[in-house]
Each structure stands twice: as C-alpha cells, then as structure tokens.
Structure 1
C-alpha cells in the first residue's frame, strides 16, 4: 500500500506553475528545496500563467521530524511538544484502519472540513487520499456543476495532494488510481495537465496488462467517457475486458455503471447488443438489491438504449419502484416516469403508490415532477382523481413556480381525460391570469394545445380566441415550415367551431378558411376515436333486425362540421325512418355513438374529453345523440335482448316513430 507523505512533500514542495492569484500563506522559518524540472501544470483556471514560489505555513508543517538534521520547527515552540504530537498521530494511524477514515471523510459536508481532517495526519494511505479527493468532489458538486472555489484551489494541502498523485501514480493501488482520476475529471481538471496525463497513462498501462478489476474497469470507463468522449479507443478495450468477465462477479453498482457506459455508446449498440442482452437477463436477479438511485439510472439507460425487448426487466423494476417511491429524489422520480412513459408501463399498484405520494407531498413537490406525473397520467389515460385534485391544488398555491411548458403538461390532462377538479374555478382563474401576464412566453404550439384542452371541458378561452385566430399568431405557429401540421389545424378548427356553437357572445375575428380541416378523423393526430369494428358489427346486426333492412341507416357519415358519425338514422316529420340515401323531407337526424373501450378512460365509464366535446357539438348542431356504450352491450345475453335494447334507446321517447317497410 502506497503512502502519501504529506509533511515531507508539503514542506519540501517545489515551485508550482499555477494560474490566478498568489497563495496568501505566511512563510515559515525553513528553506524550501526547489526541485528542478518539476512543475504543476495549469489545470483549473483560464487566466495567463504566472510563476509563484509556493510557501506553506500549515498545521502539518508545524509537526514533523527533519530528515536532514536541521531543526525546522517554528521559533518559540518546544521541540518536545512537536515530537509528542507527532508520535500520537502515528499511533492513531496504526490503530485506525482505512475504512474508518473513509467513513469519517464521508461525514464531512465541506471541502474545508476534509482538508482540515487530513492535515492532522503525517502520512496518508493512498486510499484515504483518493477518498478525500472524491469527497471534495461530492460536496462541491452539490452546489451545481461548477469548478472548485478559488480558496480550495489555493489551499496548500489540496495542491500537495494533487502534486503527489501527479508524481507517483505508479505507487497507487488500482482502486485509488481510478478513484483519483474520476474525481479530478469531475472537478474539471485541465485534460492536458501533467496530473491527468500521468494518471491516464498509468491507467492505460495497467489496463493493457490486464491488471484492473471489474469495479475499477467500470469507473475507468465512465471517467474516459467524460474526458475523451465515447469514441476513445481505450473504451473499446475496457468493454472487451468486461465482456470476458462473469456477470456474477459484478456488484449491482457495477452492473448499473456498465449500463451507463453502454448508454454513452448508444450509437454503437449494434456491436454490443448480444452483450447487453446478457446484462438484461442477468439484471433480473439483482433488481431486489438496487437502491432508488440505481433503479432510476438503469431505467434511464434502458430508454437511451431502446431496450424495448427488455420489458420483463422494466416490469420487475416497476414493482420495486412501488416500494421505493418515497425515497426517490425529484430528478430520479422524473426519470422513472419518463421510462414508464417510453415503455408504456403502468399498473394499479404503481398508480396507488403515486396517488399516496402526490397527495402527501403535493404542496412541496418540484413543478417539474408535478408536470411529469401529469404527463404520465395523460399518456396512459389514467384518471386518478386524488392525483388530479392534489395537482390542481398545488398549481393554485404556487402558480408562479411553473414554466409555460410545465403549465401545459399540467393542464392538458384535465381536458384530455374530461375531468374538472373541485377547485376548478380557482384553477382556471389562476391559469387565465398567468396567460394574460405571460402570453408571449408560451411557445405557439404549446399555447394552442393548452387552450384547446380547456375547451374540451367547457372552459372556453374566449379572451384569447382573437389572438390565436389572428394572422400574426398563425404565422408564429407555422414558423419556418411551409405549412401547418395536421394536428394544429384540427385544433384550430375545433376551437373555431367551439366559438360558433358554444360562445355566442364572441364577436372577434374568425379562423381563415385555409386553416380549417374537413375531418377530425384522420389516421394520425385524430380528434376522434375510430369506431370499434367488433362492437359496430354487433350493433349493426341488431339494427337490421330492428329496422328491417340495412338501407335504413348509414355508417361512418362525415358531416359538414368535420365530425364523423358512427351510424346515422334519418326521420321524417311524422317520425318515419327514411332510407339513408334520401335527403328530402328529413326532419330529424339521429346520431348513434357506438363507444368502444378506447373512447373511455381505462376501466371506467368516463368518456374522454374529445368524445365528450363531439357529442356536445353534435347536439348543438341539431342531431339527436344516442350513446351506445360497450359496457351496456356487453351485458346483453342474446340477439333478442340486443334488439329490445336498441328499441328502447332509439324509440322509447318517441312512441309515434316508425320505419318504412323495404
């Protein structure tokens, strides 16, 4: 085990080349020996280099034995006291093992505490020295991805640590070597400095000799990705060696680190897919031992690597997400939800856990997490009233914390899933105030989607219709494209139809005809749900029995108002059913909405927002809307019951209605 002798190196440290201001340490009564040809390359700062003689007066310079027979102790301090303190420290080092020191390092919350701790030691095991660098990196990174503060850079002990790593990397253990390299890279050391060049060269030499263990290979791989990018040649050698190891020898942390390495090489996944398949299968056996952080990282890597064939692993990870949901950080939970959205994963246990989590912490949740939770519910069509109510309350209480994109992700699910929370008045009042204040900050498509979703649940954006129908907004919406996308045109058209049918007091500009669509039912980006074919076949058989012939009803009828009617039946003034090809003497049109499961929120009888607005608009256009939901058809046990059911639905309110004989 190599030992870094701090007192000797600090008190006999050669001159350093560094950037920035001179160190403000007071000189001590000792002649520093200059070592010719050695200097510390500029790593951290960007100012032009200036030459400074580094002199230290440090705690560890006050207590040490002189090896050349001189008496280097400060004037006025008894030599005996120094020797006694020194002997005590040496004894302490013998009595306490390295792991204890590492645990003590991990308890510190600032770089100053770390440096103060190691300053009490004359010799420092390389593992503890590497641990000190790692802890400095951890505590500094908590404040964001930034460089080290100037006072740490200029700290004599920190410089001595780095100098020793630069000069004697061959004396370090494998673990200390890769840990030091990883920490220094995270601290933004100059990649061309002697310090990093020496450490990288030593790592490469040991790698070629096959002397690095699995854990160290994983750390080295991630370090080189940060330093040189995923295309570095050494990374291929690391992956080659890792593929030769038995996965049973990997710890859970190593497996997740391996996922992160492969994630960085996602563009080369064709070369590593076979290896990745083995990792996916093996990971099923270690899911139980993963921490929330590791679960989040594994799911993120699976998304980046497009591992749609690894659904058994995703499902098993989902089960453990339920157990750990309260222990995820906001960022980790957001990544978990992103992964579930990507893989289409959901289950009632996760929904229940999410409900409890949100209702408990709704007023303290990060806005990004709130919007991500609502996006997840929207994508999976999960109408969870506890979640929606808690999120609505959160938005009302802290509206100013939400960005435009977060507001859109939060509000749109209410319209999509056709739900108004108990505080709907306060919610939409807050939303309207925010739109008045920050209208121009919303991206055009985001704003259009937000306002359209409000109209689905009869919260019509009347005060903003004039703006979104204006040529200026439409030009912004189109951007640099030669035409508007189909979904945007459909939303604009439905908003225009809403202004005509449901907002009679709106007198602003109308939507120009060239921005209107002819049909809301399209193969993609549709504002209507296609009819369930099997359900339609069942209903059609009953209608033929009831009406006597197929000619008395039409299917998939496109109206002049963009909506497609599943089944249309025409009645004359006396209530007789007319053949569907007849257009004269039509007094009443009956629109049958044959609503299959996809038109409802899953496992419920609650219509989606786009189906609710369709039925509402058809009624306003003069149609008699008759809803035929799948859950009522499923209750019927015979063809006779089906005919009687349709008889009640169509004619029970109009006893004088009849149909023509064919």
Structure 2
C-alpha cells in the first residue's frame, strides 16, 4: 500500500526516481521508510533549480502558456499547461472550520498580490476555496486596476493553477463555488470558447435544468450570462423563468437589485416579462429601507432604461429614503440618481435641501459630471437654489479646464433659465469668455447659441461674440443640412440682435440678416420667455377685472415693436 501511495503522489513527475526506494519499502518498517524517503526527497528537491519552487504548492509550475492577442486564454482542445498537478492533499484534508478560516483570510486581502502570496503558502486548496480565491482576486483587482486585472497577475502560475483547479472537474464544485467561478472568469479576458468556460457553462446549464440553484445563485448566474453571451442567451431565459417561479418573500434586497440589472441589460425582453417586472416593482416598495446608495442608483437606472413610468410610487419612496444618505453616494451614482429624477419628473423639498448641503460642502471638488446632472435637475424642475447655483459657479471658476463644451453649456444655461446671477458673476463670465475665445470652434453651433442666449437673459450680453454668430459662416453652420434655421434658433438669434440694439448701443458690428429674424417669440414647442408665476398672474388678472370691470379691456403677452412682451390695458 505504501508503494502504491508513493507512485500515486509522484506519477506526474517525469524526473522523479530514487534508486533503492522499492527495496527500502520491502525491507524496512514504515517509520524507517519515511525517514529514508524524506532524506532523499530533500536532496532531490534541493538539487532542482530554485526558481521553480518559489511557491510552496509544487503542482503549479507551468510551461508554454499561450494566449491569443495577449488577452484570451487558450482555445478549446489545446492544453493550458504542459505539466500541472493537483494540490498535494485531497479536498477532505481540510475541515469545514479550516475552510471558513481560510475564506475569512481571503476576504481580508485588498489586492491580487496579497491573495496570490497567501495561496503560495498553502499545501492544499480545496476546489471550493480555489473558486473563492479566484473571485476575490477578480473582485479586488477590478477595483484597483480599473475593471481589468494586470497582465502580470494573469500570467502567474498560481493564478493559472486556480483556473485549472476550478475547471478540471466542475462536478466536484458546490453550486455556490461553480457560479462564483463563472462570475469571476467572465470579468477576465477569457475566451468564451475556451475549454474552461465551456466546461463551467455546461455544468451550470445542467444544474439549472435540474432546478438545483437557489435564488441568489440564479441572480449571479443571470448577470454572468448577460456579460458573457448577451441578452439573446437561451440559458438566460431559463434563469428568468425559474426566478419567476420563486417566492418573492425569500428574495434578499441584493437579489431584487440583480434582477433589475438583468432586465436592464435586455430591454427587448421587458414586454414578455412585464408582469414579473410589475410584481418586482410592487415588492421593492417593502425593501427600500434596506437598499444601499449603490443599490438605489442601480434600481433607478434600471427603471429609466426599462421605461417604468408607472413605477412612480417606487421612485418617490426611493427619493425620500435616500435623503439622509446623499453624502455616501459616489459622483457616478449621484449623477445616475439625478438623471432618473429628471426622467420621472420627481422633486422633493427635503431632497433638494439635502442636495444643497452636499453640493455646498463639496464646492471646489465638484465632479463635472455631477455638476452637469445637478444643473440639469435644477433647470428641469425649475429649482432656483442659490446654494447650489453659487457652488457650481465657484467650481467652474476654479476648474473650468475640467469641463467639456457640453458640460459648460449644461452648467451655464440654467442660470439664464432660472434668472439668477451668482455673486461671482464677473469672475464666472470672464472665465467663460476666455474658454469661448480659446475653444470657439469646439462648441456645436446650436449649443453655442443656447449658451450665449442664456448669458443675455441675465444681463451678461455676449457683445464680443455677436459679430461671429451674426456672420454668414456661423449661420450656415447653424443651418447644417436643413433648408432653413429652425424656429427656436431664429427666435434666440432675434433676441440677441434686439439686445445689441436696445442694451448695447455701442455695438457696431454686423447685424442679423432680416431672413433670420422673427416677429414673434411664441414658438409651437416652447417659449423663450421666463414663465410667470401662475398664482401671481391670477391675482393680477382678478385685480384688473375688478378695476376695469371686464376681461375684455386688457390683454397679456402683447408683443411690442421692440420685441418685448408686456401685459397691456386698453
């Protein structure tokens, strides 16, 4: 039996041969045999090149590992390793308590190098722990290396051995380990047609068809399938069908968020699964208080992508819940939330107050994307928030070079729409003028016109740019491939021209050609004028009726020859 065990342990090592070992096994007792073998193994291992055994598990030194295009693992039917063995001890050599301890150690590491260094000290690693280690490497690696593991990690013998361990016999994997391994490999530049991926996919499909996977694993598998094979994957449809058969009361909050992400990735399936989605929307009302800021952002983004305009109660509850957590949102998450609120038309006084405190606290460190989203939210909902507008104006003055042309336009236009002039207006518009002078041609014509028109609405008349926008060259660019300049642009041009006549008498540059002027600013799609306060307007109308005796004796929105609109009494 000792001879059989010895050969089993070293049958894969072609250079291994100890003269006299068989005789020693026959003649000497077991304890003496162990001493002889131990001594000779020590001499043999020490004689090998030291570079081959920088790690303690001796199975993982690898040769001739190939990749296609430097990224993809080796395709089907071609070996990954010329020589690779399993870990020295069987899976059963670790107790469940030891496995739990190792899992806790793995989860404490914060970089792939730490995980690999820890694995190099292990003489045995069950396949379940190999899966957990692979997942941890991908998890911390994506965070540290911008969604992509460095090539140095992918090429290490330990990392390759982990992949081989997970794919050698997936039937030995637990359901959780199998799904986790697939989830991890999907994030890597692994060829979907590699033998490893095909083997894991086949095992996942087999267990899925037998209905063996629990809800959490179904959600993880569904997201992995979306990333691996896209929305048209047949297996994904099976995952969605099984999720619908589950009891929603057993779903954890993260499972609900995962379902939203899965459906968001395949919007063409929404009509087919709308009933299920309606059920999810209603059920989500009960778990809002358990959602993290990241989860709230994911849910709102999915609701927008899936056009769930009837899920307004859920949007309102999410908005009320997130008020206290606004500082915990990342810039990207907060931007997505604000985009969703603009899409659904949601606004709330408490949310606005919390947003004011958050933006005012950040001020000079505001991210351009968040700034654009905040200003779009205030503009769309007509929120004339002085703390937000002042902070945004200050942020632009201090870091204007970080803003793109579209972000600059989205930042400046609400000032005109909301009729607000910030305290640092001279510095703000001086900085804006310098940016426009340096990058005038980088701004699309219509965007530039909207931007300059907004400046004129708050009394900052763009005199230095009027000659450029009234020029035939700019007007031709504005017209583009259409036969004429659109009505809104003509109205904006006319208002700028009248500004040059009425407010800037010193302007002596080119005039706007008559064919680009309009006689009325009432446009079919929108109005260029700031809408009056409805309650104030009604009060004035009722007062005039009492004074004049009838509604027939006065009119509103009367256009004068100078293109100003006034309320006029007969």
State how far apart, in whole Å, the 2-side matches of 1:545 and 1:354 are: 43
State how far apart, in whole Å, the 1-side matches of 2:210 and 2:512 are: 72
Tell me which moved more, 253-262 or 462-471: 462-471
State how far apart, in whole Å, the 1-side matches of 2:385 and 2:378 are: 8
1:240-275 CA distance string (max 9 Å, x none): 111000111111000000011111121221111111
1:153-187 CA distance string (max 9 Å, x none): 22111111111222211111111111111111111
How many pairs are equivalent? Answer: 521
Give the aligned partner of residue 190 of structure 1. Answer: 191
State how far apart, in whole Å, the 1-side matches of 2:408 and 2:9 are: 58
Give the aligned partner of residue 516 of structure 2. Answer: 515
Give the aligned partner of residue 276 of structure 1. Answer: 277
Matches for 1:103-114 after TM superposition, within 5 Å: 103-114=104-115
Q: Is the 8 A contact 1:558 1:564 kept in 2?
A: yes
Give the aligned partner of residue 45 of structure 1. Answer: 70
Secondary structure of the residue that 2:374 maps to in structure 1?
A: helix
1:53-86 CA distance string (max 9 Å, x none): 7578x9x99xx58x9xxxxxxxxxxxxxxxxxxx
Matches for 1:188-587 after TM superposition, within 5 Å: 188-528=189-529, 543=544, 546-547=547-548, 552-565=553-566, 567-569=567-569
State how far apart, in whole Å, the 2-side matches of 1:505 and 1:261 are: 61
1:457-495 CA distance string (max 9 Å, x none): 111111111111122222222333333333222211211
Q: Is the 8 A contact 1:358 1:390 kept in 2?
A: yes
State how far apart, in whole Å, the 2-side matches of 1:414 and 1:405 are: 15
State how far apart, in whole Å, the 2-side matches of 1:43 and 1:195 are: 15
State how far apart, in whole Å, the 1-side matches of 2:266 and 2:168 are: 33
State how far apart, in whole Å, the 2-side matches of 1:503 and 1:300 are: 46
Q: Is the 8 A contact 1:405 1:446 kept in 2?
A: yes
Structure 1: any 5+ residue segments left out of the alignment? 1-7, 15-23, 68-88, 570-579, 581-662
Give the aligned partner of residue 586 of structure 1. Answer: none
After superposition, the CA RMSD in angstroms is 3.4
1:547-604 CA distance string (max 9 Å, x none): 4676654455343444544x423xxxxxxxxxx5xxxxxxxxxxxxxxxxxxxxxxxx
Secondary structure of the residue that 1:420 maps to in structure 2?
A: coil
Per the alignment, do residues 27 and 547 of structure 1 end up closer, same or farther by CA in structure 2, a change over 3 Å counting?
closer
State how far apart, in whole Å, the 1-side matches of 2:305 and 2:407 are: 23
State how far apart, in whole Å, the 2-side matches of 1:301 and 1:561 are: 49
Per the alignment, do residues 111 and 274 of structure 1 end up closer, same or farther by CA in structure 2, a change over 3 Å counting?
same
Matches for 1:644-659 after TM superposition, within 5 Å: none
State how far apart, in whole Å, the 2-side matches of 1:409 and 1:9 are: 69
TM-score (ref. length: structure 1): 0.72
Secondary structure of the residue that 2:439 maps to in structure 1?
A: helix
State how far apart, in whole Å, the 1-side matches of 2:201 and 2:69 are: 17
State how far apart, in whole Å, the 2-side matches of 1:541 and 1:210 are: 71
Q: Is the 8 A contact 1:40 1:195 kept in 2?
A: no
Structure 2: any 5+ residue segments left out of the alignment? 1-7, 15-48
Give the aligned partner of residue 157 of structure 1. Answer: 158
Per the alignment, do residues 95 and 491 of structure 1 end up closer, same or farther by CA in structure 2, a change over 3 Å counting?
same
State how far apart, in whole Å, the 2-side matches of 1:13 and 1:158 are: 21
State how far apart, in whole Å, the 2-side matches of 1:10 and 1:317 are: 61
TM-score (ref. length: structure 2): 0.83
Per the alignment, do residues 537 and 153 of structure 1 end up closer, same or farther by CA in structure 2, a change over 3 Å counting?
closer
Secondary structure of the residue that 1:480 maps to in structure 2?
A: coil
Point out which structure has higher relative CO (alpha carbons under 8 A, 6+ apart).
Answer: 1
CA shift, 1:319, in A, is 1.3
CA shift, 1:541, in A, is 6.2
State how far apart, in whole Å, the 1-side matches of 2:162 and 2:550 are: 93
